Structure 1
């Protein structure tokens, strides 16, 4: 499986598990809501910095986005 797809699936799963909307996650991570949607739809690959921000906002280890 491609990393982009893996990150997209895990991001969506972790976001939903936390009961967050894309907008809420974006606010917590300091990112644009459209960017979150693009990552989840595999239209954009997140930067390392964005992955770190998302993991912090989700209260998970960044590695969780790749498992």
Structure 2
């Protein structure tokens, strides 16, 4: 079984989105991730976001708070 692509996006205002590759129901396959970022990077399967203050955050999954 192959691995799923890890695709992320950022809008100009800093909104963060993750591509789910799930468009079967006709809904948008992009889901919005809470927070904003000025930079996003993926290393060894881990996603990191940098906010406008320069703080780093590691994405740990879609978990309810």
Band the TM-score falls in, shorter-chain normalisation: under 0.3
Rg bigger for which structure?
A: 2
More helix by share: 1
More strand by share: 2
TM-score normalised per structure 2: 0.25
